[in-house]
């Protein structure tokens, strides 16, 4: 492995400023930017200086996940808001030590987990149900209902860029309407509001004055038309969702309004940026040219490839999405995306469920104790496989075990599974967009694992540039909010600016093409064995009942046949 730092060609080809200009950028602060970073597992509030975007204060807390059934994932919307308020309060307390105060915060941006859906009462402002998290698969039956109407899972791909899947908000809203009486009643009485988490946050921060979302979050609902960037009437009718329930779609970077909630220490501050978390990460990684690609390694993995101002519609199961739109009149930039449902979650599973790891953070240490995975392959399809397979009936397997397999081999195979799933998506991206992907930008909590980064370079055959920020999501949202027209804390010109905190560590491939081809081939074989594992419960039950009726009738049948045979034999004997 080779490592390099501060390589000018390792970012989005951002040239360095002179030392004098660099010093000026650190001294001549024009204002502070606050960022609400609402993720799946954690919520944080960060404060950045401008124009150099140095993080000077931050506070983060864990966010609870509720799992009432296997494959069901929920979160408490009230806990989300309470955590945001707590994080903002604690981060602002740190400002005096840096020579600043809350009044120096010029604007606030929001970045959030996407697809996760919340419905609430417009009159009381209270949630009508827990938030349904993006990876929740309870809507499988709803997917089947919709597919019964349109037949093809890709029926709406040309208008939305998305397949019909449990992943997206439209299915979650429809499930809530069909299965939660309170939601159904609120819909009938026209007091139900629905949206992704950003909409819920803005509604609460503005005391219900604003019901909005941005184009990146809206593009993940399966309800927005990519061409018009409005809610599509055909889709609304298909999913039986009223447009009045939904937020107004805005750009990612503009002055939305003021924070008015008395519960928030941010009261009186301006809101000027909203981005889905993966799009914020793409921007924070400075992937602003077509073909530039990033992967965020967390509990799941999210790869986005910038495709410029024209959407690329996938034939291989990738998602077409909006990357960003930096103002109402700015061009819309698109991306194609592939999601890995289980990445870091596989390590947590090894720790919490099967006890192979004392701590998931020790994965690198345990995996390094063996030189290879010993030909063991781990396909962590706990709730099915996402892009490029989109198979809900897949389930996890560990294959290739021998009497010599140790837990270290399985841990290493878990790390490699993250890399193989990433390569699956990179292969598709290259085929779809036609751009030569010659490096991979990496961020996220898991990138602290050096072995994982090296395995990724070896598996994909590409240099991996790990952002020293580790998580560029909040940084991307800060830039988005700061450059909004009317805020003007900075001008987003990535080819003319030097950003003090955009540095990378480099991991270069050490494997041959032949080695990569052989191992990737075996991964594909392992994936094939994981598919089709789930059989519909309904069919299984009917089949079991039919077998039971057949088997339960056997004793009576045997009795009747044997009795008839004895009678015939008796009559024959009498005749003789």
Axis-axis angle for helices 554-575, 537-552 (nearest 10): 20
Condensed to tens digits (0 to 9), the pLDDT of residues 26-70 reads 446 679 999 999 998 899 999 999 988 899 999 999 999 999 998
* DSSP class per residue in 249-278: EE-SEEEEEE---TT-TTTTPEEEEEEEHH
Say how far apart CA 448 and CA 508 lie, in whole Å.
16
Please determine, for residue 499, whether its predicted confidence score (pLDDT) is greater than 60: no
Condensed to tens digits (0 to 9), the pLDDT of residues 377-419 reads 999 999 888 778 878 899 999 999 999 999 999 999 999 999 9
Q: Confidence band (pLDDT; 50, 70, 90) for 566?
A: low
Say how far apart CA 181 and CA 3 lie, in whole Å.
57
Condensed to tens digits (0 to 9), the pLDDT of residues 535-545 reads 765 544 444 44
| Domains located in the chain, CATH noted | 32-286 (3.30.420.40), 339-474+482-493+502-530 (3.30.420.40)
Supply φ then ψ for residue 371, to 5 degrees: -75, -25
User: What is the value of pTM for the model shown?
Assistant: 0.82
Average pLDDT, the chain: 87
Q: What is the reported pLDDT for 113?
A: 94
Cα distances (angstroms) measured from residue 262 to each of 92, 201, 268, 533? 16, 14, 10, 52
* DSSP class per residue in 28-53: ---EEEEEEEE-SSEEEEEEEEETT-
Say how far apart CA 23 and CA 353 lie, in whole Å.
51
Cα distances (angstroms) measured from residue 448 to each of 154, 283, 296, 454, 471? 37, 21, 12, 11, 10
Cα distances (angstroms) measured from residue 29 to each of 14, 99, 198? 21, 12, 28
Q: What is the reported pLDDT for 543?
A: 44
Which of 33, 35, 34, 113 is CA-nearest to residue 77? 113
Helix (H, G, I), strand (E, B) or coil at 27: helix
Q: Confidence band (pLDDT; 50, 70, 90) for 107?
A: very high
Of 105-114, 309-318, 322-331, which range is least confident? 309-318
* DSSP class per residue in 475-488: HHHHHHHHTSTTT-
Q: What is the reported pLDDT for 41?
A: 87
Please determine, for residue 501, whether its predicted confidence score (pLDDT) is greater than 80: no
Please determine, for residue 196, whether its predicted confidence score (pLDDT) is greater than 90: yes
| Strands in 329-399 per DSSP E | 333-340, 377-379, 397-399
Kindly give, in sequence order, each residue whose CB lies less than 8 Å from that of residue 546, ignoring residues fewer than 6 positions away. none
Q: Confidence band (pLDDT; 50, 70, 90) for 273?
A: very high
Per-residue b or e along 339-352, where b marks 16 or more CB atoms closer than 10 Å to that residue's CB: bbbbbbbbbbbbbe
Q: Confidence band (pLDDT; 50, 70, 90) for 176?
A: very high
> If residue 60 lies in a helix (H) or strand (E), which one and from where to where?
strand 55-62
Q: Confidence band (pLDDT; 50, 70, 90) for 433?
A: confident
Stretch 291-318: mean pLDDT: 90
Q: Confidence band (pLDDT; 50, 70, 90) for 547?
A: very low
Of 246-250, 327-331, 433-437, which range is least confident? 433-437
Say how far apart CA 382 and CA 343 lie, in whole Å.
11
């Amino acid at each position: 492995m080779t490592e390099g730092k501060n390589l000018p060609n390792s970012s989005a080809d951002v040239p360095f400023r002179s030392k004098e200009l660099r010093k000026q950028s650190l001294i001549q602060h024009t204002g502070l930017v606050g960022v609400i970073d609402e993720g799946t597992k954690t919520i944080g509030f960060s404060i950045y200086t401008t124009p150099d975007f140095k993080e000077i204060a931050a506070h983060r807390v864990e966010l609870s996940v509720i799992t009432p059934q296997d494959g069901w994932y929920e979160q408490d919307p009230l806990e989300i808001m309470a955590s945001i308020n707590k994080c903002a309060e604690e981060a602002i307390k740190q400002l005096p030590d840096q020579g600043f105060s809350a009044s120096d915060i010029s604007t606030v941006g929001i970045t959030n987990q996407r697809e996760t859906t919340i419905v609430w009462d417009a009159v009381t402002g209270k949630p009508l149900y827990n938030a349904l998290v993006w990876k929740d698969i309870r809507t499988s039956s709803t997917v089947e209902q919709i597919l019964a109407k349109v037949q093809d899972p890709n029926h709406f791909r040309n208008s939305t860029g998305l397949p019909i899947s449990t992943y997206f908000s439209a299915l979650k809203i429809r499930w809530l309407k069909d299965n939660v009486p309170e939601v159904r009643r609120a819909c009938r009485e026209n007091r139900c509001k629905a949206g992704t988490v950003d909409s819920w946050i803005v509604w609460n921060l503005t005391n219900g004055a604003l019901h909005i979302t941005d184009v990146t979050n809206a593009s993940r609902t399966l309800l927005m038309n990519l061409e018009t960037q409005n809610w599509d009437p055909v889709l609304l009718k298909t999913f039986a969702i009223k447009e009045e329930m939904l937020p107004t779609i805005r750009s990612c970077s503009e002055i939305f309004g003021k924070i008015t909630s008395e519960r928030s220490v941010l009261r009186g501050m301006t809101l000027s940026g909203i981005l889905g978390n993966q799009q914020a990460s793409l921007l924070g990684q400075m992937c602003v040219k077509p073909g530039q690609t990033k992967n965020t390694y967390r509990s799941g993995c999210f790869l986005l490839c910038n495709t410029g101002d024209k959407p690329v519609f996938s034939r291989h199961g990738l998602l077409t999405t909006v990357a960003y739109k930096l103002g109402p009149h700015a061009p819309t930039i698109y991306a194609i995306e592939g999601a890995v449902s289980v990445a870091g979650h596989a390590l947590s599973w090894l720790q919490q469920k099967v006890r192979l790891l004392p701590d998931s953070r020790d994965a690198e240490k345990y995996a390094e104790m063996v030189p290879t995975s010993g030909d063991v392959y781990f396909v962590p399809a706990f709730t099915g496989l996402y892009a490029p397979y989109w198979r809900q009936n897949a389930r996890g397997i560990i294959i290739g075990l021998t009497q010599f397999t140790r837990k270290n081999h399985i841990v290493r195979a878990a790390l490699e599974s993250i890399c193989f799933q990433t390569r699956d998506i990179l292969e598709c991206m290259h085929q779809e967009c036609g751009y030569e992907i010659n490096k991979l930008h990496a961020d996220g909590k898991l990138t602290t694992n050096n072995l994982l980064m090296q395995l990724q370079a070896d598996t994909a055959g590409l240099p991996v540039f790990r952002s020293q920020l580790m998580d560029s999501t909040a940084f991307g949202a800060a830039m988005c909010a700061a450059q909004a027209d009317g805020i003007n804390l900075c001008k987003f010109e990535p080819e003319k600016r030097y950003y003090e905190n955009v540095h990378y560590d480099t991991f270069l491939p050490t494997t041959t093409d032949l080695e990569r081809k052989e191992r990737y081939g075996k991964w594909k074989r392992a994936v094939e064995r994981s598919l089709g594992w789930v059989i519909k419960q309904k069919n299984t039950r009917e089949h079991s009942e039919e077998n039971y009726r057949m088997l339960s009738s056997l004793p009576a049948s045997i009795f009747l046949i044997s009795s008839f045979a004895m009678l015939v034999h008796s009559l024959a004997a009498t005749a003789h």
